[in-house]
Chains A and B, each alone.
Chain A
Amino acid sequence: MPENNDEAFEFLLARAGLSLTDEQKAELKTVYAGIAEMAQRVRKPRGRMAEPAHVYDFTEGDLA
Chain B
Amino acid sequence: MSVIPTIAEAARLIAAKQLSPVELTRACLERVHKLDEQLHAFVHLTEERALADARAAEAAIMANGPKGPLHGIPIGLKDIVDTKGIPTTCQSKFLQDNIPETDAACAEKLAAAGTVLMGKTTTHEFADGGPSFDLPKPPARNPWNTEHFTAGSSSGTGAGVAAGLILGGIGTDTGGSIRGPAALCGIAGIKPTYGLVSRAGVAPAAFSLDHIGPMAWTAEDCALMLQALAGHDQCDPASASRPIPTYTAQLGSGIKGLRIGVVHHFHETDHQVSDGTQRGITAAIATFRDLGADIREVQLSPLQDWNACGSLISITERAAAYEEWARTRLGDFSERLRSRLMLGAFVSGVDYVQAVRRRRELRAELQAAMKGLDVVLTATQPAEAARIDAVPKWDLFAAPNFTMPFNVAGYPAISICAGFGAGELPVAIQLVGKPFQEPIVFRIADAFEKATPFRDRRPALVGA
Q: Which residues of A contact B (CB under 8 A)?
A: 1, 12-13, 15-20, 24, 27-28, 31-32, 34-39, 41-44, 46, 50-54
A17-B326, A53-B360 given; A35·B343 CB < 8 A: yes
Please provide the chain B residues from 74 to 106 with a CB less than 8 Å away from any CB of chain A in the complex. Answer: none
With A37-B308, A39-B354 already in contact, the answer to whether A52 and B360 are too (CB < 8 A) is yes
Shortest B357–chain A CB gap in Å is 5
B294 CB to closest chain A CB, in angstroms?
31
Are B351 and A42 in contact (CB-based, < 8 A)?
yes
Residues of A within 8 A of B363 (CB): 53
The answer to whether A13 touches B312 (Cβ under 8 A) is: no
A-B contact count (CB 8 A): 94
Q: Would you give the 0/1 interface string for B409-440, flagging 1 where the beta carbon is closer than 8 Å to chain A?
A: 00000000000000000000000000000000
CB-based contact A52/B330 at 8 Å = no
Q: Are A46 and B357 in contact (CB under 8 A)?
A: yes
Q: A19 — which chain B residues lie within 8 A by C-beta?
A: 330
For chain B, the count of residues having a C-beta within 8 Å of the partner chain is 37
Alpha-carbon separation in the docked complex, A39 to B360 (Å): 16
> Could you tell me the distance between the alpha carbons of A28 and B340 in the complex, rounded to whole angstroms?
10
Q: Give the distance in Å from the alpha carbon of A16 to the alpha carbon of B315 in the complex.
A: 13
Contact with A along B310-334 (1 / 0, CB 8 A): 0110010001000100110010000
B interface residues with partner A (beta carbon < 8 Å): 208, 304-305, 307-309, 311-312, 315, 319, 323, 326-327, 330, 338-339, 342-348, 351, 353-361, 363, 394, 396-397
A-B pairs with beta carbons under 8 Å apart, 21 shown: A1-B348, A1-B351, A12-B345, A16-B319, A19-B330, A20-B330, A31-B394, A31-B397, A34-B394, A35-B312, A35-B315, A35-B346, A37-B308, A38-B307, A38-B311, A39-B348, A39-B351, A41-B308, A41-B358, A50-B360, A53-B359
| B330:A18 contact, CB within 8 angstroms | yes
Query: In the complex, given contacts A24-B342, A28-B342, A36-B346, what are 15 additional A-B residue pairs having Cβ atoms less than 8 angstroms apart?
Result: A1-B348, A12-B345, A27-B339, A31-B343, A34-B396, A38-B308, A39-B354, A41-B304, A42-B355, A50-B360, A50-B361, A51-B357, A52-B357, A52-B360, A53-B363
